[in-house]
Copies of this chain bind each other. A is one copy, B any other.
Amino acid sequence: MFKILEGLRVVESSAFVACPLGGMTLAQLGADVIRFDPIRGGIDARRWPITKNGKSLYWVGLNKGKRSLAIDASKPEGQELLGELIAAPGAGKGIFSTNLRADKGWMSYGELKKRREDLIMVNLLGSSDGTSAVDYTVNCAAGFPFVTGNHHAEGPPRPVNHVLPAWDALAGVNLALAILAAERHRRLTGEGQLVRLALSDIAFAITGHLGFIQEAQINQEDRKGYGNYLYGAYGSAFETSDGRWLYIVVVTGYMWKELLKVTGLGDAIGAIAARLDLDFRKEGDRFLASEEISVPIRAWCAQRTLGEIEATFKGTGVCWGPYRTFRQMLAEDPRVSTTNPMFSELEQPGIGPYLVPGSPIDFGAFSREPPRRAPLLGEHTDEILSQDLGLSNSEIGRLRAAGVVAGPVEVS
């Protein structure tokens, strides 16, 4: 049962997407991650999507493989227990926390460091300037909604949010990365530290790394919205004769040659290049003619079913994929099934058996293991109090009676 991060222990104070995903990323690689929550559940305990009987699919999705401690952290006794837990001996203990808690109170880095000198604390802020921010408000600020889903021919852009909480997801993986980098440093030097990162910086860093900020600054113009066309190369969405959609993308010369050969559209598209005086061996020129190139390809796709197109493209160098709804993905894509070793079918109490992904990273030194389900709220309260903190049954009973700890609790 040895896994890549065996021996790493993390206490997680979190809610919503980013911090829970950070902790789960480590938990799915074998770290011991204890998430603590209020005894009636945290602010995200009931978050949608929910099942028809009101169970949060969101919460169980983002907390798989952790141990759950239900504890009233507003009570001094709860704070004392958490302080002890965070400082308890054990290899590589770190802590994640959200927004501002690193600055003040019992859970500040300064207070916790008094308990354990080499503590690693990773703190996620909303905005780098200390104001509150969430994925949706960071997304507004980062420019993408004005180029998403808008086509430049259709007048002034209206914002279109992407539905994927991409900044939260990126923050989650960055949190896990930060823990590992800080633990590497501690292993080399014995030194702990407070690590801080802001969701807004996650977004602005990626926006800058991808050249969007620099394009605005150097070229002094805003990127237009190109709808589903791929900026700077050739890519577009097409509808088939049976009402399905697919995307065809060309990012190499080979993919381009194959597309022309397999569709038989070489002559038609060659005529477009000649008419526009462009050289379609250059991907920038293919981009400039995206709309013209798409006309014959659109007609070609509209005359064929998705199945016929799949059969035609199979085994060729055409880079393409069908669009699928979430249900079509489940029904049609074997990569989203237990034939993919990343997925397992797990029994989640109150929800039933369902498909669950483990870590996407396959470490050759270990055989890939099935993911573990999410805990019930406070499922590990007694185990943590007795095994990790050495409390007796009678002490645990007293804490339960005093409303300091609880669990397992049915959230509803």
Contact = CB atoms under 8 A, between A and B. Distances in A.
B340 A140 contact: no
Contacts of A143: 324-326, 328-329
A118 to B, nearest CB: 11
A202 B4 CA distance: 18
Interface stretch (A204-212, A266-274, A376-384, A397-405): A204-212
Nearest to A251: B134
Contacts of A276: none
A41 interface: no
A4 B182 contact: yes
A215 interface: yes
A63 to B, nearest CB: 10
Interface in A239-255: 243, 245-247, 249, 251-252
A149 to B, nearest CB: 4
Interface string A147-180: 1110000001111111111100110011011101
A360 B177 CA distance: 11
A246 B140 contact: yes
A181 B222 contact: no
Given A48-B231, A166-B164, A208 B158 contact: no
A222 B323 contact: no
A94 to B, nearest CB: 13
Nearest to A319: B132
A73 interface: no
30 contacts: A4-B182, A4-B185, A16-B251, A17-B210, A48-B287, A51-B218, A62-B210, A132-B319, A134-B319, A136-B247, A136-B249, A136-B321, A137-B321, A140-B246, A140-B324, A143-B328, A148-B149, A159-B245, A160-B160, A164-B210, A165-B210, A166-B170, A177-B177, A180-B184, A195-B362, A204-B336, A205-B358, A214-B351, A216-B330, A218-B351
A355 B165 contact: no
A334 interface: yes
Contact of A57 (B62, B128, B132, B215): B215
A61 to B, nearest CB: 4
Interface stretch (A21-29, A80-88, A297-305, A386-394): A21-29
A11 interface: no
Given A200-B335, A330-B216, A354-B218, A364 B194 contact: yes
Given A148-B149, A181-B4, A357 B204 contact: yes
Nearest to A157: B325
A333 interface: yes
B133 A321 contact: yes
A237 B231 CA distance: 26
Contacts of A12: none
B365 A335 contact: no
A112 interface: no
Contacts of A352: 218
A174 B360 contact: yes
Contacts of A197: 360-362
A127 interface: yes
Contacts of A370: none
Contacts of A16: 251
Nearest to A125: B362
B51 A219 contact: yes
Nearest to A52: B219
Contacts of A147: 163
Nearest to A187: B187
A95 interface: no
Contacts of A43: 251-252
A249 B215 contact: no
Contacts of A196: 361-362, 364
